[in-house]
Amino acid sequence: MKRKLGLDLGSVTCGIAVSDLMGMIASPLTTLRFESENYEQCINLLKDVIEEKQVDTVVLGLPKHMNGDIGIRGNVSLDFKILLEDIGLKVILWDERLTTVSAERFLISVDVSRKKRKKVIDKMAAVTILQDYLNSIA
């Protein structure tokens, strides 16, 4: 059985979460850092994670405006989806509205300092994206 990755893609970071082998639980993995807007570099960094974790499916956060429109960041995710598919992955786009807000609230509720929150917020948002997807297919 293969794992699934959840991705929260930013302009210089990519938060990553990974599922268990049963595809039931999402866990934070890491946050990749890459040169600003260099998504090819991000793909190259992701390849190692994908191989190591034996991933066949990526759940990619799709940022939308609150009215449902797709803006600039959403178009970046659509382009990134193509890059992921080009390396042989199945890619599911997942509405990520308010995932960072949700992750931030969770981290505050468990008393994580502001400095530490900044370091983990992207991978926690990726956990929310992936877990929401896993819950939807359970």
Residue 71 pLDDT > 90: no
Most confident of 33-42, 65-74, 105-114: 33-42
Residue 108 pLDDT > 90: no
Q: Is the entire prediction scored with pTM above 0.85?
A: yes
Sequence-distant (≥ 6) Cβ neighbours of residue 72 within 8 angstroms: none
Q: Confidence class of residue 128 from pLDDT cuts 50, 70 and 90?
A: very high
Fold entry, domain 3-137: Nucleotidyltransferase; domain 5 (3.30.420)
Residue 62 pLDDT > 90: yes
Q: Confidence class of residue 114 from pLDDT cuts 50, 70 and 90?
A: confident
Q: Tokens 């759940």 belong to which residue?
A: 59
Q: How far is CA 9 from CA 60, 63, 77, 86, in A?
A: 8, 9, 7, 17
Dihedrals φ, ψ of 136, to 5°?
A: -70, -25
Q: Which helix (H) or strand (E) holds 59?
A: strand 55-62
Give the mean pLDDT of 64-78: 87
Q: Tokens 């595809």 belong to which residue?
A: 23
